[in-house]
Amino acid sequence: MVTLPAADIRRAVRLGLEEDLAQGDITTSALFSTAVPACAEIIAQQSLVVAGLAAAVQTFLAVDPSLRLSVCLRDGERAKNADVLLHIEGDGRSILQAERVALNFLQHLSGIATLTQKFCQAVRGYSVSILDTRKTIPGWRALQKWAVALGGGTSHRRSLGDGILIKDNHLALLHPGRQAIRKACRLAKAHAPSAMQTIVEVESIEEAQRALAGKADIILLDNMTPAMVCRAVNLIDGRAVVEVSGGITLKNVRAMAAAGADRISIGALTHSAPAASLSLVLKPTRASRRRRA
């Protein structure tokens, strides 16, 4: 199972609760002056890949360590509509206070994992990797990339220090003209760690030729049609890894794989994944109902 460092989860949970409970839970405090024994279930309302359950569990426990939680499915597993992901027992006030933050983790991250799995399934049969990008919510990158991995995808760069990616704006600053790509590759290989690969983003077949001349390790074909990708793959002919990005959808991703791409990077995995549909159903326990009677 793909795991996320506990420190990343704790940090995200702390920030989420600080944001939601900075002034307390005025509604719950006004309605309930004493503990209300209750139980709750988090239920899937669609088919999905579970992601963020570890963060949801830590959210409930951070609010109230006395809550009793039973995990029914684990991060990375598939859930069907109406499946129970998590069962919670304890003070209903605590469950209410943790509900929104816990569901935020589960809905957003499960949405990412579910969309990633759809892309991976769409290219099944081809030797191609589905990658995410750095187009993430500030502060949530570790969690979002974790969700991508749970869905079967792979991380591109985790930060600007995690790899060399020469883009159009680098080239615009460096040396306008035909020699910009070769010069950028030469500088990158001279100053970067020796084991680090050089990725060059190109927008035309001509630029792909220049990236080859500069001995780029990975040539990123940006916003090209499948036909253009096929031409570029034939030109590169195994002398560099071929990555495709820009405008990738579930409708065209298989065509990109069929055109010969080795890697397909998709910003939409993290910035546009629809939230998974989940709900928390809460009810008082028998002990609570007897006491009120």
* 8 is an active site residue: no
> Cα(169)–Cα(165) distance, rounded to whole angstroms?
11
**In the sheet that 198-202 helps form, which strands lie side by side, from edge to edge?**
129-131, 263-265, 241-245, 218-222, 198-202, 164-166
* 80 is an active site residue: no
Name the catalytic one among 8, 41, 64, 222. 222
Name the catalytic one among 135, 189, 215, 231. 135
Q: Which of 101, 132, 122, 107 is nearest to 49 (CA)?
A: 107
Q: Which of 277, 282, 275, 281 is nearest to 45 (CA)?
A: 277
> Cα(83)–Cα(266) distance, rounded to whole angstroms?
29
* 201 is an active site residue: yes
> Cα(140)–Cα(143) distance, rounded to whole angstroms?
5
Tokens matching residue 46: 């669609």
Please compute, for residue 268, the number of CA atoms within 13 A of its CA located in the half-sphere on the CB side: 15
* 118 is an active site residue: no
Q: Which of 166, 128, 160 is nearest to 141 (CA)?
A: 160
Strand, helix or coil for residue 37: strand
> Cα(41)–Cα(279) distance, rounded to whole angstroms?
8
The rounded radius of gyration (Å) of the Cα atoms in the chain is: 24
Name the catalytic one among 99, 201, 207, 243. 201
Handedness of CA 168, 170, 173, 174 (dihedral sign): negative
Residue count of the chain: 293
Name the catalytic one among 167, 186, 215, 231. 167
Q: Scanning the structure block, which residue is given the tokens 């159009």? A: 168
Is-contact 118 95, C-beta < 8 A? no
* 100 is an active site residue: yes
Name the catalytic one among 11, 78, 100, 186. 100
| Residue positions annotated with a catalytic role | 100, 135, 167, 201, 222
